[in-house]
Structures are given as structure tokens and as C-alpha cells.
Structure 1
Amino acid sequence: MKLTELPHRTLAIVRGNDRNAALRTVITLAEEGITATEVSLTTADALWVIEQARRELGPDATLGAGTVVTTEDAERAADAGAGFLVTPGVLPDLRNGPAHALPVLMGALTPSEIISAVGCGAHAIKLFPASLGGPGHLTALRAPFPTVPFVPVGGIDAATAPLYLAAGAVAVGVGSPLIGDAANGGDLAALRTRTAQWRTALTEAVAG
């Protein structure tokens, strides 16, 4: 699994207050073709969700843990079956310990943070929160960092995702505009509808 080659160029971000609903959300996304998913560690019983989802989806599923802020978070997520880690900011200590072997999507917003994250071994940069600068910020960053893979996260929806891809993002991360209330026990049928619409929007953007 490469963080630069996500299916549909999409990383779905699942965060909820109901562990069973969060698990059903991950499975539903996979059934509907969004197979790269980050389960935020702020989710109720997030490690259980990751364990169960890994069991359901198998060893090759692109399933990771998000909101990783300590090395302890990283180790527990790795033990639960996470295949990659996502941080909200630069976390140098991830270079240490068994979890260091997992790909890391490391959060950064400024040039200095990006330099630090790359120096820490980040496999890709989570441009966060992307909404602060919009696609224009990514365009500007691509000039000094042409080989750095960027995955914008924060405020991304079906209307703005194509703009970030056009600006050079390798993929985009999307949370509530796609997930809605599904991870809190909401309507899975509505989630399926949104997922189909999202796939169409992203497919057209990539093809265009």
C-alpha cells in the first residue's frame, strides 16, 4: 500500500461516537468502492474498530489510524492492525519503535513544517487544515516542494476536491462531507448515496 496511490485518490476519514456504527461505516465504504480508510483514534473504541475492520476486510485492506499524536498511539494502532498512520502535525518520535515501519501521512501546513515532516521520514504530507489556504496554497507549496506528495485534509468536499487534485494533490482526505452521521449511528443508505456521488465526482476530475 502506498499513500501516494490511494484508490479513487481518496482517503475516507471515519470519526464517530458509536463503535459499531463506525465499524459499519468502514465496511460500507469498502463495499461501495472507497477502500482507503483512516479511523481516527478519537472514535469511540477506535482500536476495536480497527481490529474488527481488519478482520472483516483482510490483511491487504488500506486501513489506517488517524489522529496519532504520541508514539504510544502509534504502537497501539499498529498492534490493532493499522497499516498506516496519520498525524495532525509533525511527530518526530515516530522514527522510533516498532511502528516506525508503517507508512506515515504526517500533518504539516507551512514550508518549515513540511521540511521537518520530510526529515522525520513522512511518506506523504497531510496538508492540514487545507481550508486555511485552499488550493492556491497547495499550488504555491508545489513550487519549492515539487516531489513531495501532498494529501490535503480539512474542509474538502466534492466541489473542492477536484481543485486540489488539479493543484497537484496525489489524493484528498474527506471526513464529514462524505461520512455524514453514519459513524454516529446515522443512515447507511444515505452514506451509500454520498459515496456513489463522490466516486463520480472524483472519477470525472481525474479523467478531466
Structure 2
Amino acid sequence: MTPEEFLGGLGNAKLLAIIRGSEAQAAVRTAVALVEEGFTHLEVSLNTVEAAGVITAIQAEVGAAAFIGAGTVLTRDDVARVAAAGAQFIVTPALAPSVAEAVRLDLPVLAGSFTPTEVYSAMDQGAAAIKLFPASLGGPRYLSALRDPFPDVPFVPVGGVDQGAAVDYLSRGALGVGVGSPLIGDAASGGDLAALRSRARQFLSAAGLQQ
């Protein structure tokens, strides 16, 4: 997947589901449920138990129905490991060595940044888009402030994004939003999948992707 394809797909999807859990099989079931409900972009955090295996297993379950990326990717070794597992894009929490390594391997990278200097540096290194993190510190108004000097930078706010914040960020020009615990809850650690499906439909509806 090229950076252009990644940006186009996430721009249409609007929602990036962030899966982080303490049970590998529960994380896989969570991903499958999300795809069945209509999510097409999923990130598996490397904090998830057996994360690389989870990425591979999700790919086997959902096939071409969704794009599966790896999150909390910090080192060059992390990039190599998740690329071998089949990750189609990389998400970082900061301007780590993983950014340049993902670019070198032609993997689209959503680079974690917060300040204007970090935003500029990430894009200069070849990031496809900026993961505005932790977005909750500045909120939607901070996104608007950043977009004034960086009108062409694709921003994806992550961190504390509930349904209301998702709508606000998207209305202020975010390419998409990353949603973690407000969506996933405890599902990826063995929790209630029915409740997850309900939350998934609510998020999709709030983003205008489902009636």
C-alpha cells in the first residue's frame, strides 16, 4: 500500500480503531467484530500480547476487507518485526527511529507528533500523516490552530477521542481520528463483544458512515 492509498483509504474511512489487549485471541475476535460492523482500518498496538501474531491472525481472518497496521512502533527492529507479520502501515507515538525505517521500507507511517516543530520534522522525514498525540491535551481547538500554519498536512488526532470529539475533530479538517478505549473497552482483553459491536455502530453513525 502506498502512502497515497493509505491517505485516501483513511480519509474515506475516517475512523482508525486502535486495538490494545491482554489476550491475543480476544484481540483477534475484537478485530473481526469491528470489520464485520464496517471498520476498515485497524491498528494493533505492540503493547498487545503476541502483537505480531495477532496482526498475522487478523489478516488471515479478514483478508482484503480491512487494512491492518501496527501501533506503538518505536525501533527499527519493531518495524522489521511487524512488516514480517504483515502490517500494512505503521503508527508511532513519537518521532522515533521507526519513522525513517518505515519510510525506507515504503510502509506508510502515521507519525506521532504534538508540537509544530515535531509536525514539520515528521513530514520532512517522509511521514504520510501526523498522529496528533496526545490530542486530548489540546482538543479540537488545538487541531484548528495547527492547521493554520500546516493547511496541507493530514492530521489524525489520537488520545481520548470519544464520539463527540471525533465529530468535532472531523469537522475541523482532520483526515480521520484514532479511537481506542472509548471504542474497544475491555473487548480485546476478553470483554463483551456485543457491547463492542454496539459502540462500533455508534461511532460509525456519529462519523456519518452508517445510518
> Is TM (by shorter chain) over 0.5?
yes
Q: Is the 8 A contact 1:92 1:120 kept in 2?
A: no
Q: Is the 8 A contact 1:10 1:173 kept in 2?
A: yes
- Distance in 1 separating the partners of 2:55 and 2:177: 21
- Distance in 2 separating the partners of 1:184 and 1:96: 30
1:54–1:136 Cα change, 3 Å: same
Matched, 1:133 2:138: yes
Local SS of the residue matching 1:159: helix
- Distance in 2 separating the partners of 1:26 and 1:76: 20
Where in structure 1 do 4 or more consecutive aligned residues deviate above 2 Å?
A: 91-100
Q: What residue is the counterpart of 2:91 in the other structure?
A: 86
Matched, 1:27 2:32: yes
Q: Which runs of 5+ in 2 are unaligned?
A: none
- Distance in 2 separating the partners of 1:17 and 1:50: 14
Aligned with residue 155 of structure 2, among 150, 154, 174? 150
Q: What residue is the counterpart of 1:2 in the other structure?
A: 6
Q: Aligned runs of 1:100-179 on 2, under 5 Å?
A: 100-179=105-184
Q: What residue is the counterpart of 2:188 in the other structure?
A: 183
Q: Which runs of 5+ in 1 are unaligned?
A: none
Q: Is the 8 A contact 1:8 1:202 kept in 2?
A: no
- Distance in 1 separating the partners of 2:41 and 2:55: 13
Local SS of the residue matching 1:203: coil
Q: CA deviation at 1:96?
A: 3.8
The superposition leaves residues 120-160 of structure 1 with CA deviations (integer Å, 9 ceiling, x where unpaired) of 10000000000000001000000100000000000100011
- Distance in 1 separating the partners of 2:184 and 2:98: 31
- Distance in 2 separating the partners of 1:40 and 1:70: 14
**AA partner of residue 7 (structure 2):** L
- Distance in 1 separating the partners of 2:188 and 2:101: 32
1:136–1:98 Cα change, 3 Å: closer
Local SS of the residue matching 2:25: helix
- Distance in 1 separating the partners of 2:54 and 2:104: 19
- Distance in 2 separating the partners of 1:77 and 1:3: 20
- Distance in 1 separating the partners of 2:39 and 2:101: 31
Local SS of the residue matching 1:199: helix
Q: TM-score, normalised by structure 2?
A: 0.92
- Distance in 2 separating the partners of 1:98 and 1:145: 21
Q: Is the 8 A contact 2:113 2:131 kept in 1?
A: yes
- Distance in 2 separating the partners of 1:203 and 1:94: 32
Q: TM-score, normalised by structure 1?
A: 0.94
- Distance in 2 separating the partners of 1:196 and 1:186: 17
Q: Is the 8 A contact 1:10 1:172 kept in 2?
A: yes
Q: Is the 8 A contact 2:99 2:111 kept in 1?
A: no
